[in-house]
């Protein structure tokens, strides 16, 4: 396939990712990961982070290849890192037919390979030197219809699409524990009985690991991610009950496989999210897997996007977001960002120069450490990077 950039048709332009369709190719999309970032569902922030897009492409390609290898799943059953979790629960999970298929065939996914702007195949090692796209299998997206009922904006999922590859309109969130800053804490405080719904035998404390991972379901295609009950998630998904149960099993074991990979490298995986497609053969892993979808900790320091969230957490802008969302709900509006800017006079500041200098190394360092070799040159090791975070934090403290 030979394609020039001007022959790409823009399908979707998001806050951190663009989706293109090569002209004349109706079966493939190309993901372009940008250096933009978003926190607190705000959308594009005022500055960028160096190498972020290229590192996300590298990590996405790596994890899809890793999970497609049946040896990943065979070895997972013997992982010493999983001994901290309930062994009876693990044995039951590993005895499911869905897991047996993984040990034979590996995981199905929508990833097709890495390509340059002319459509030529490329590799992870070549990413730093060129513009690279992640080629993925095309899927239909059926967006919910917003309507007003009883003076409330609600979303109607028609689930009309059948017999084609389609996006399951859910974000499936997995949690291995409750670290500082987890949104789960406020939900459990408001409703302690929610722990039992999740399958937890006791109310967790801060920074406590669970006896086994838990799942939560959120909307994918609405203006703001909305937490769903299992009943709502099943209805919105358009899946049969059996296929939905398979989705939960695949989410659990994929989370465990990624947990094991990071644990092998001394990194703690606390939570993250997956997205899925469905076709006539079953479920496929979709979107991407990397630090923007995962909460990672090394030597007590947050990596991934959580590190950047911590920079803004407690700021006037972050506190105004909650007020703006509350006002939007009261007025039955979806444009809470506009309320935050126009009515409350708050919007995000740029990262400070000291913090940005550190953040610009984050994604390259994490890619090198996770993949296991140096994709991005002139980057510190992960321990050296943690030292730079600590130093930057000290400097920020002195500045204040």
pLDDT one-digit tens code per residue, 53-74: 999 999 999 999 999 999 999 9
Residue 325 is assigned to a structural domain of this protein? no
Residue 341 is assigned to a structural domain of this protein? no
What is the DSSP code (8-state) at residue 117?
Answer: T
Give the whole-angstrom CA distance, residue 10 versus residue 32: 10
Residue 340 is assigned to a structural domain of this protein? no
Residue 70 is assigned to a structural domain of this protein? yes
Q: What CATH number is attached to the domain comprising 128? A: 3.30.470.20
pLDDT tens for residues 86-101? Answer: 999 999 999 999 999 9
Residue 342 is assigned to a structural domain of this protein? no
Q: Where do the DSSP E strands lie in 78-169?
A: 111-115, 121-122, 133-137, 145-149, 152-156, 166-167
CA–CA distances in Å: residue 287 to residues 42, 56, 65, 84, 309: 20, 11, 14, 29, 22
Could you tell me the residue range of the domain that residue 97 belongs to?
5-313+352-399
Least confident stretch, 2-6, 47-51, 318-322: 2-6
State mean pLDDT over 161-186: 92
Residue 344 is assigned to a structural domain of this protein? no
The SS3 assignment for 342 reads helix
> How would DSSP label each residue in 168-191?
--EEEEEEEEE-TT-THHHHHHH-
CA torsion, ordered 206, 208, 214, 219, to nearest 10 deg: 30
- Of 266, 295, 293, 257, give the one whose Cα is nearest residue 90: 257
Residue 25 is assigned to a structural domain of this protein? yes
Give the whole-angstrom CA distance, residue 119 versus residue 263: 36
pLDDT tens for residues 198-252? Answer: 999 999 999 999 999 999 999 999 988 999 999 999 999 999 999 999 999 999 9
pTM here is 0.92
Residue 330 is assigned to a structural domain of this protein? no
pLDDT tens for residues 149-158? Answer: 998 889 999 9
Structurally, the chain folds into a number of domains equal to: 1
The position carrying tokens 């609405």 is 222
């Amino acid at each position: 396939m030979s394609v020039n950039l001007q022959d790409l048709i823009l399908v979707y332009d998001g806050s951190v990712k663009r989706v293109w369709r090569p002209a004349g190719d109706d079966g493939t999309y190309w993901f372009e990961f940008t250096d933009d970032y978003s926190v607190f569902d705000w959308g594009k922030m005022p500055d960028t982070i160096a190498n972020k897009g290229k590192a996300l492409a590298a990590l996405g390609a790596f994890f899809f290849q890793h999970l497609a290898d049946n040896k990943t799943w065979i070895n997972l059953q013997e992982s010493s890192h999983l001994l901290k979790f309930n062994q009876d629960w693990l044995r039951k999970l590993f005895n499911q037919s869905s897991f047996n298929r993984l040990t034979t065939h590996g995981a199905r996914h929508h990833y097709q390979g890495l390509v340059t702007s002319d459509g030529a195949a490329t590799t992870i090692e070549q990413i730093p030197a060129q513009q690279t796209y992640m080629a993925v299998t095309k899927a239909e997206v059926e967006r919910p219809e917003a309507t007003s009922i009883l003076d409330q904006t609600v979303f109607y999922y028609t689930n009309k699409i059948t017999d084609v590859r389609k996006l399951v309109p859910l974000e499936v969130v997995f949690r291995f524990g409750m670290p500082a800053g987890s949104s789960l804490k406020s939900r459990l405080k408001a409703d302690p009985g929610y722990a039992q719904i999740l399958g937890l035998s006791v109310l967790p404390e801060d920074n406590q690991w669970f006896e086994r991972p838990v799942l939560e379901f959120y909307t994918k295609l609405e203006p703001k991610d909305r937490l769903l009950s299992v009943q709502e998630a099943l209805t919105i998904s358009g899946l049969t009950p059996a296929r939905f149960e398979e989705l939960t099993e695949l989410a659990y074991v994929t989370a465990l496989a990624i947990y094991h990979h990071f644990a092998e490298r001394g990194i703690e995986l606390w939570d993250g999210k997956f997205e899925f497609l469905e076709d006539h053969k079953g479920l496929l892993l979709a979107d991407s897997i990397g630090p923007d979808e995962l909460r990672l900790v090394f030597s007590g320091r947050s990596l991934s996007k959580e590190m950047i969230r911590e920079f803004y957490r407690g700021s006037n802008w972050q506190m105004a977001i909650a007020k703006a969302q509350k006002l939007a709900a009261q007025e039955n509006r979806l444009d809470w960002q506009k309320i935050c800017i126009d009515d409350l006079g708050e919007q995000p500041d740029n990262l400070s120069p000291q913090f940005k200098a550190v953040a610009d190394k984050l994604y390259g360092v994490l890619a090198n450490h996770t993949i296991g070799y140096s994709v991005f040159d002139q980057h510190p090791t992960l321990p050296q990077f943690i030292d730079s975070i600590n130093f930057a934090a000290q400097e920020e403290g002195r500045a204040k």
